[in-house]
Structures are given as C-alpha cells and as structure tokens.
Chain A
C-alpha cells in the first residue's frame, strides 16, 4: 500500500510540474512583463536594467526553478489589470468559491444518491421514470441556462430570492463566510442549485445503473434467502457495493465543480475565483490566469489522491490484491 501511495504521489508531482511548466511558458512567451511595467517609451538601458533586476536574463532552468519556488510559496506577481498581488486577489476570492462548491456537492450527493437508489428499486414506476427524464434534462441543459431559468423564475417572477452577489458576509480572520447570515444563505441557494444540477443528474444515473447491476448478483439473492429484511439487503449489501464507482466519479466531479463554478459565478456575479478568472481571460491577465491554473491543478491532484486512498477504505478486495503483490 505504501508503494502504491508513493507511486501516486510521484505521478501527482509530475502533473503539477507540467502544469507549472505551462504556466511558466505563459509568463515567458505571452506578453512582455518589461513592456507592461515600463510602458512603450522606455529606453533600452532601462529595459536591460529591469530585465536584470527581475532576473529575466538568467538561463532557462534557473528561471523555471525560481518560478516553481515562488509558486510553491503562492507568489505569482502582480495582476496586470488590477496592479495588486495575485495571491491577495485569490485569497480574497477563495472562500466564496469554496463555500459555493461545498454546498453544491452536498446537494448533489444528498439528493442524487437517494434519488438514484429510489429509481433503481422502483424501476418502471411513474415516479422513477419522471426522475430519469428529469435527470436526462439535467445532463443536457448547459449550466448557464439553468442559472438563467432559475433567476427568471425565483428572482424576476416570484421575487423570492436575490440573483447576484454574496449578500451579507461575516469576516472570520482571513475567511469571509456567508453561512452565518440569513441574507448570505438566501444569496447562496440559487447559485448552489445551479452548480449542483449537472453533478446531481450524473450521480443519480450512476447510482441507479450500479444498483441495478448489483441487485442481479448472487449474493443479493443469498442475502434474501437468509431472510434479511429488504432494508438491510438494499442498504447494507447493495448500496455499499455500488459506492466504488460513485466515489470515483464524485471525487473527480468535485474538482470540476470548482472549475464549473466559473460559469455559475458569471451568471450570478458571485465574487469568487471563477469570476476573477473570466475577467483575467477577457483582459489577457496572464499572472492571474497562471495562478488560477496552478491552484486548480493542485486541487485536482489532491482530490484524485484522496479518491485513490478512499478506495482502500471502501473496497476490501483492493487491499488484498495490493497486499499480495499484484
């Protein structure tokens, strides 16, 4: 097991280094930092001086290792558009995105798994068919359209919920949270539902098909033959065995929740990282783009690692296979 973890760690480091390399290339070859700092009219001496001060005349490997060293400390320089430190900008936006993604993930899991189990057990009934049709719609509707429809229904027509911003937030040290105020929750509801719909539909369909698969197997028949109650069979035996693929997909989707938050945040003008990233793309703000890229990659890599470790906790077969030197 230790060897497995070490191998995954090595892979993770390779992925991070290649992403850092892409980010570095962005800095290096897209846009000229000297021109953007000094303006077009600077003399050649000024340019050479600044180039030396910034360390841009150093050989490639030296520059790259310096870049990685800075990136590890969260240092990505100044935003070209706002003139502020990228690390400060991101730190300010990070809580908003994380809270949004967290709530969306909870909704997707909390509704998706029970609904999937339900539509597998009551297969062919009206309620189950309705659930499946709705989930097909959930997979095909683009995220921004779901957001617009929700705004139209709940903000414009019914006027129940606000449609943009975070509302009142409470500051706890470096963290700002909307979880502690009623207004914050009101602002959170629509974006969180929007972000969760696609994942919810995906989890629902996955749990359903896995459940149907498992319910056909012999050990379920055997559990029934032992006289166990339906509930024990369904939840103790069947659901447990559907969880491995569910964990994989959910884990991978958790990372993409943060990426898909870009769209949701734009629709709801949510002051998170995704909104920051979109503005950076629009204005070709390379430092912000590079920093966001590295951060997202880091989140993805960490989530993937956790997912791999969770396999061991959930599936005893894997533990035995690995232990026997497979």
Chain B
C-alpha cells in the first residue's frame, strides 16, 4: 500500500493561497478595499468593549455638560470625543461601535436562521418533489410577492401583540425571527433548483443502488454539492438583513431601546436634525451604509470568483 508523502499534499492554507479564489481577490482592488472596510467595521464592533474610547452604557462616566458636542474638528468640539456627543453626553464614536455590534448580531443571527430553514426546505422540496414541492413553492410565491419589509413589520407587530410586555431577549428573538422569515425564500428556491439537477446525477443513483437511505443521500451527498451558491447569497443577505433591522429600529419597532442598534441611533438623532446637530444622525447613517456597501461589494466579488463561467 503506497503512502503519499506528506510533502506532496500541501495544507489547506497553501492550497487556498495558490488557488483561483485568492488570485481573483488579489487582482480586484474593489474586493480588497471592501474587505478592509468590512474587517475594520466588524473588528471594532465585535471588540467594542475593548476598542471603544468610552462606554456609552456606563452612567458614571457620562457628563451632561458634555452633551451635544460637535465633532472634534468643528468649533466647540473636544478632542476626547472624536465624532462629538449626543444629547446625553455619550460619545458618538463609542456609540457607533456598540450599535454596530447589535446590528451585526441581529444581521448574522437572522441570516443563519433563514439559511438553515431555507436550505432545509429547498432540499426537501427538490429531493422529494410532488405535493410537498408544490406546497413549498406556492408559499414561496406568495412570500415573494410581498416586500420583505412588510412581512417583517407584520410579524414584529404580531409578536408585540402576543407578548405585550416582552422581555428583552424575547424582543430580540421576535425581531430575528421576523427578519429571518423574509429571507428563507431565496435560499429555498436556489437550493431546490440545484437539487433538481443533482438528484439525477450518477453519484446519487449509485448511492441509491447500494441502499443508502434517502435522508442520508440528501444530507451527506446532495447537500455539500449545492452549498456553493448559498454562500454567495448568504453574504448579500447579511447586508440586506442589517438594513432591514436598521429600518425596523428606525421605525421604532426593532431592537428594544435599552440596547440601541445603528437604526435606533439614527432614530434618536433624527430629533436633533432641526437644531443643527447633524452628527448625531449622520455618523450612524454613514456607518450603516459603509457596512452594507462593503458587504454587498464582497458578495458581488465572491459571486464572480466562484462562477466558473466567468473565469
């Protein structure tokens, strides 16, 4: 029995660095810039408690005499508050980091949930076929004919009616569920399409012939082969989910006010727009657009990089 020498099988990292995806990344300036911006935003949000200059939730450090200070480079601004302060004297920059943390948390959680549900139902729909398939696809059609923001609002509203005095964690759960429920349709349709192609291939027939159970074929054989495009879709859906969350929070029906996301910050700042304190709104807005745009550009690049026809 021949043992392959270890030197001839390069590690996963080396293979990745030598591969097409890394090459296409290196040669796309847009992708590099987007990746850097996305990385900085995500890093600052995840490590907000350690990176942020102030803690906006620590009431002891707040000083009301520092309220509504403009950014440091404008007359009247203080160096310690780089992007100014809000009406409570909270540092905007720190607020951004903590806010983006919550936005990202809700965004990733809802995408994960909708991906699991969508891939599962899509796989089932494509593999089983028949009336199961017809039913799931009809539901998709109806869902798709309504704008996602409307569905999310409705579920959120119903959630509020069922649990009038919802606990904070429950409010988060309802919100994540509402956003996830608007996104699963896209995964389901995509996975169903690829599953229909895969199930007629020889390896599936071979597995059937040797008596592998349908469930096992579905999960162990078909699933890994349909996951590629799902990855691209998930990237783009993260941006969409973050924007949906921001919209809901801006409308006042999103995250609970005790843990403000970027949308909440924009909503709060909106009240100060007319007194000239633009920085309370504009910086959270800019941060939101920066995150959404960079994630979207990364998604676009990933789609092209993974598409064999474009190589």
Contacts and interface: CB of A to CB of B under 8 A. Distances in A.
Given A145-B289, A304-B145, A281 B250 contact: no
A21 B219 CA distance: 35
Contacts, number: 98
B285 A148 contact: yes
A281 B288 contact: no
A151 to B, nearest CB: 6
Interface in B105-163: 142, 145-147, 149-150, 153-154, 156-158, 160-162
Contacts of B142: 15, 18
B266 interface: yes
Interface stretch (B69-77, B225-233, B273-281): B273-281
Interface string A10-37: 0000010010000000100011000000
Contacts of B296: 140
A249 interface: no
Contacts of A163: 274
Contacts of A152: 273, 278, 281-282
Nearest to B269: A148
A111 interface: no
A256 interface: yes
B285 A145 contact: yes
Contacts of B276: 156
B145 A278 contact: no
A311 interface: no
A201 to B, nearest CB: 13
Contact of B252 (A18, A278, A284, A286): A278
B160 A263 contact: no
A31 B153 contact: no
Query: How many residues of A sit at the interface, in one of the four size bands?
Result: 35 or more
Given A140-B296, A144-B250, A148-B285, A281 B157 contact: yes
A188 B150 CA distance: 23
B5 to A, nearest CB: 50
Most buried by B among A140, A156, A263: A140
B223 interface: no
A280 B157 contact: yes
Contacts of B247: 142-144, 263
B17 to A, nearest CB: 31
A141 interface: yes
Contacts of A267: 270
Contacts of A289: 154, 157-158
B251 interface: yes
Q: Which of the four size classes fits the interface of chain B?
A: 35 or more
A148 B161 contact: no
B253 interface: yes
B145 A141 contact: no
Interface centre among B157, B164, B273 (most CB of A within 10 A): B157
Contacts of B293: 140
A101 to B, nearest CB: 13
B273 A282 contact: no
Contacts of A278: 153, 251-253
Interface string A97-139: 0000000000000000000000000000000000000000000
Contacts of B250: 144, 263, 266
A262 interface: yes
A156 B154 contact: no
B153 A142 contact: no
A134 B54 CA distance: 36
A203 B274 CA distance: 33
A151 B149 contact: no
A219 B160 CA distance: 58
B222 interface: no
A142 B246 contact: yes
A293 interface: yes
B171 interface: no
A189 interface: no
Contact of A282 (B145, B158, B252, B285): B252
Given A26-B158, A256-B147, A281-B253, A156 B274 contact: yes
Contact of B150 (A30, A151, A259): A259
Given A148-B281, A281-B156, A259 B149 contact: yes
A30 B145 contact: no
B297 to A, nearest CB: 9
Nearest to A284: B161
Interface string A154-190: 0110000001000000000000000000000000000
Interface of B: 142, 145-147, 149-150, 153-154, 156-158, 160-162, 164, 243, 246-247, 250-253, 266, 270, 273-274, 276, 278, 281-282, 285, 288-289, 292-293, 296
13 contacts: A30-B162, A142-B288, A142-B289, A148-B270, A156-B278, A259-B150, A262-B149, A262-B251, A281-B253, A284-B160, A284-B164, A289-B158, A300-B146
